Structure 1
Amino acid sequence: MPAFRIWLAILIASPAIVMAEDAQPDAEDQVSYYRDVRPILQGNCQGCHQPAKRGGDYVMTDHQSLLGRGESESEAIVPGDPAASYLVELIQPVDGKAEMPKGKPPLSEADRKILLNWILQGAQDDTPDSAKEQYDAEHPPSYVRPPVLTSVAFSPDGKLLAVSGYHEVLLQKADGSGIAGRLVGISERIESLAFSPDGSRLAVAGGSPGRLGELQVWNVADATLAYSVAVSHDNVYGVSWSPDGKLVAIGCGDNSVRGFDAGSGKQVFFNGAHEDWALDTVFSKDGSHLVSVSRDMAVKLYEVETQRFVDNVTSITPGALKGGINAVARHPSEDQVLIGGADGVPKIYRLFREKARKIGDDFNKIKDFPEMLGRIYDVAFTSDAAKAVASSSLDGAGHVHVFHVADGKKVLELEGPLHAVYSISISPDNKQIASVGFDGVVLLHDLETGKKLQQFPAVPITPQTASHP
């Protein structure tokens, strides 16, 4: 008898799940597809089996597709009959390994029992109607009003702007002439975007709040998903690439900082030194170290190879820092970082300590820039490091200031009025700055004069048609 059938027989014989043929389990024992099964599939299977990446030609993001067939002639799930369900065989470990999830540890015994019970009980769908809408490249989201935009990034050649949407990233032509591509995935909320150093790939951090964190890596040329990695059970943030393009890092809502092999998506770095959400990351100049910032008011430094926490870059003296830190950007040619957060003051810090820490010191700080109104949401250096830029928002109004790095003085403020600004990106030629935020519009300003050059909607808007009785 195959090993999985022995396991199946043992489970079915268990008092916890055995049922008479004509009996239905009590409500308290009933397995919910939406509440119990779907989270298991989200965390372990949907990265490879979703509309944007149909591993084995099998999609696992909705109930109807889950009951279908992939490349195999066998039915993956036969309601009421686990023995005939190919999925049950694939997830059963043999000698500590299972065919699925591919390249991951086997599902836990508890998760396998949940799936088995659900199939035994008829594999029913209890998804609320409000959650049944599915999106893919052929059926992208439609918008009747502009969404709040959380991230924007220029491509290294300056020809594209990647802009966050709902369940998708839109590749806008940087001159505002139209959409070049739509990267539709399973994450409801996109938090952060970053092009690889050579511009061939786009890393996306986001998730479905309270349910799924996800790292996506897309091939830009053909708008295909290279891979998706489920991370934790809440959104992930602050995606960044190592200078050689071999690693991708993110901050997580579970307070951890993680790094992944950019080619395979395998996790190769983990550190949990933060005491609150890690919101942004950046690598050192040579890629040997990683920096993260967090709601816990700290900037932390790690050694990539050993995954070791090295130092708190900022002061750890109580009261020295005021509020969380949202954003970090590395100096183009020095191991220095520009940070910004709740106190509204952009600051530059050196990464590596040159003398022993003393109580109360903030030795690594190089300079403060003039305070901005509200909370800083994003920061950036020009590629020549001559200027630093920061965006802040207060009471629905946004501000983008440009500073001279050498003397720390404010040079100009971008022409407004601006709605709340949550993300900025500087063009590779240092001539323009793109900003996005609450109003759902992409704004382009001249970085030398601060004058607005143009604006355009980030997403296509479908006008609502009034209904008549």
Structure 2
Amino acid sequence: MPPLRLTASSLLFALVALLGETRAATETAVSFRKEIAPMLQRRCAACHGEDSAKGGYRLDSLKRMSKAGDSDLAPLTPGKIGDSELYQRLIEKDANDRMPQKADALPASEIALIERWIKEGAVNDGGPADRPLSELVRESLLKSAPVKYPRPAPITALAFSPDGTQLAVSGYYEVTIWDLDTGALVRRIGGLPERISALAWHRKTGELAVAGGSPAQWGTVILIDPSPNAEPRFLCDLPDMALCVAFNPDGTQLAAGSADRTIRLFDVKSGKQAHIMRNHADWVQSVAYSPDGTHVLSSSRDRTVRISSAATGELESTYTGHETAVYAAIFSHDGDTVLSLAQNSPLDYWKWTTTEKKPKRTDVAGHPERLAWVTGGLALAGEDGLLRIETPDDETLFTLYGQPDAISALAVGSNPDQIATGSYDGTVCVWNLGCGTWVRRFVASP
């Protein structure tokens, strides 16, 4: 028996050793493009990028992250984690010196991945070293839309074409265009982010503005030319989702708000960023222009509404009357008054052009999350699936039924009698307020 037991033990030891060697031989090297770049973009870009380089150190490209900041210590020494300040800062015990600062330490699995990458020689498989990390992340996250949806996708964004005959609808890695006379799918525009948060259709050029991204990984704002086969114009790459977009009245400027707490203003013709505003402390959930186009209105999860100059980006006014996250805010027709809608809260109706900040509060039913001007009053929609048309004085004009699930998107056409709603179950309803009913209803899934 003893010799047999020894032989079995030896065989087991040999088998374990062989499996270990096989695993080591087949284990692929860490990919900078697919694994390291997305992680650094997600965790570090906000504090060590072009717009904010704390400690004089930037992490927005491999070339820049290899150069020392104010400390003069080598951030990256291939093959040597002990000589790589980037890694040492991640494992630092003192929270004041550890990166990221004022945040939880990176998960052990992510730190281990960076350690492996450095030990393997910090190999770059992402092309030229000066390529922005955001470009690498974009490439890794953009995928083809499914040929056929296995189930309807929640509707998160809608926009009418300038002539009101078509409707752009958010999809999965795409935007779909639908004919409103027939309810037929006209076009699928792919090559877009996983999630589409907002859409705006330019009234003169027909360009479609798209905000979206992949949560907590990457976001972008895109302009899509209406002509066939035109390539989407990516205006920016962000560390988190872009959440809202709006054209100014004459169509020369585009405002976009995102989950990275910024508002960015773009020149529509060139696509270049004109201003970046960091006025909010949390997600920017809506943006809108004043009727004359000189002011940008923004609402945020930080419970504030802010007004900034469209020409300079400078902050002009702040409203702090809400006690919960603000979903949306719009200007009155004269531009002197703002209507703002917060979570589980009455509608606030306040003048921003005077020193008086005490709002007129009106109760609204149904916990609405969407707000827009329509013929005769305001359209409010939310989780109860009802579309309510009310006056700012809380007088309900009428309530529209037809959406089978919570309303998650709302759009108004150039004719304010025309309105569209989308729900979490993938259903789109197009309403004619003159008729007081929906005139087209379809499931917007290819």
Work out whether the TM-score is over 0.5: yes
Counterpart position of 1:177: 183
1:151–1:191 CA contact under 8 A, matched in 2? yes
Counterpart position of 1:437: 423
Change (3 A) 1:231 1:119: closer
Where does 1:270-285 land on structure 2 (aligned, <5 Å)? 270-285=276-291
**Are 2:349 and 1:348 equivalent residues in the alignment?**
yes
> Any gaps of 5 or more consecutive residues in structure 1?
1-23, 44-104, 124-130, 461-469
Separation in structure 1 between the aligned mates of residue 391 and residue 315 of structure 2, nearest angstrom: 32
Change (3 A) 1:111 1:181: farther
From 301, 307, 322, the counterpart of 1:295: 301
From 381, 398, 404, the counterpart of 2:385: 398
Displacement after TM superposition at 1:445 (Å): 2.6
Counterpart position of 2:107: none
2:33–2:124 CA contact under 8 A, matched in 1? no
Where does 1:45-60 land on structure 2 (aligned, <5 Å)? none
Counterpart position of 2:373: 381
Counterpart position of 1:227: 233
2:322–2:342 CA contact under 8 A, matched in 1? no
Please tell me the residue identity of whatever aligns with 1:389.
A
Change (3 A) 1:335 1:263: farther
**Are 2:398 and 1:412 equivalent residues in the alignment?**
yes
Displacement after TM superposition at 1:264 (Å): 2.2
Separation in structure 1 between the aligned mates of residue 245 and residue 127 of structure 2, nearest angstrom: 41
Change (3 A) 1:35 1:453: same
Counterpart position of 2:51: none
Change (3 A) 1:324 1:288: same
Normalised by the size of structure 2, how large is the TM-score?
0.69
Separation in structure 1 between the aligned mates of residue 127 and residue 208 of structure 2, nearest angstrom: 41
Separation in structure 2 between the aligned mates of residue 445 and residue 155 of structure 1, nearest angstrom: 15
Separation in structure 2 between the aligned mates of residue 273 and residue 119 of structure 1, nearest angstrom: 37
**Are 2:411 and 1:425 equivalent residues in the alignment?**
yes
From 146, 156, 169, the counterpart of 1:150: 156
Please tell me the residue identity of whatever aligns with 1:324.
A
Give me the CA root mean square deviation.
Answer: 3.4
**Are 2:165 and 1:159 equivalent residues in the alignment?**
yes
Change (3 A) 1:348 1:30: same
Counterpart position of 1:35: 35
Where does 1:304-383 land on structure 2 (aligned, <5 Å)? 304-312=310-318, 314=319, 316=320, 320-352=321-353, 354-355=354-355, 362-363=357-358, 365=359, 367-374=360-367, 376-382=368-374
> Any gaps of 5 or more consecutive residues in structure 2?
1-23, 44-59, 68-75, 77-116, 129-138
Change (3 A) 1:402 1:111: farther
Larger Rg: 2
Separation in structure 1 between the aligned mates of residue 296 and residue 262 of structure 2, nearest angstrom: 13
* Other structure's SS at 1:109 match: helix
Q: Across the two proteins, how many residue pairs are aligned to each other?
A: 346
| Range moving further from structure 2, 33-42 or 229-238 | 33-42
Counterpart position of 1:255: 261
Q: Alignment identity in percent? A: 25
Deviation string 1:299-336 (CA, Å, 9 cap, x unpaired) is 10111222211111x3x3xxx42311112233345343
1:346–1:368 CA contact under 8 A, matched in 2? yes
Deviation string 1:7-38 (CA, Å, 9 cap, x unpaired) is xxxxxxxxxxxxxxxxx99x999444421246
Separation in structure 2 between the aligned mates of residue 198 and residue 336 of structure 1, nearest angstrom: 27
Please tell me the residue identity of whatever aligns with 1:180.
V
* Other structure's SS at 2:156 match: coil
Please tell me the residue identity of whatever aligns with 1:378.
R
Please tell me the residue identity of whatever aligns with 2:371.
V
From 442, 447, 458, the counterpart of 2:444: 458
Change (3 A) 1:181 1:322: same
Displacement after TM superposition at 1:269 (Å): 1.3
Please tell me the residue identity of whatever aligns with 2:364.
E
Normalised by the size of structure 1, how large is the TM-score?
0.66
Separation in structure 1 between the aligned mates of residue 187 and residue 216 of structure 2, nearest angstrom: 29
Change (3 A) 1:148 1:121: closer
Displacement after TM superposition at 1:344 (Å): 4.3
Please tell me the residue identity of whatever aligns with 2:366.
L
| Range moving further from structure 2, 175-184 or 283-292 | 175-184
Separation in structure 1 between the aligned mates of residue 206 and residue 170 of structure 2, nearest angstrom: 18
Where does 1:12-161 land on structure 2 (aligned, <5 Å)? 30-37=30-37, 108-110=63-65, 117-119=122-124, 135-136=143-144, 141-161=147-167
Displacement after TM superposition at 1:145 (Å): 0.8
Deviation string 1:236-261 (CA, Å, 9 cap, x unpaired) is 11101111211111111111111111
Please tell me the residue identity of whatever aligns with 1:206.
G
Please tell me the residue identity of whatever aligns with 1:198.
K
Change (3 A) 1:402 1:106: same
1:147–1:439 CA contact under 8 A, matched in 2? yes
2:301–2:326 CA contact under 8 A, matched in 1? yes
Displacement after TM superposition at 1:408 (Å): 3.8
2:32–2:124 CA contact under 8 A, matched in 1? no
* Other structure's SS at 1:305 match: coil
Separation in structure 2 between the aligned mates of residue 215 and residue 261 of structure 1, nearest angstrom: 12
Displacement after TM superposition at 1:285 (Å): 1.9
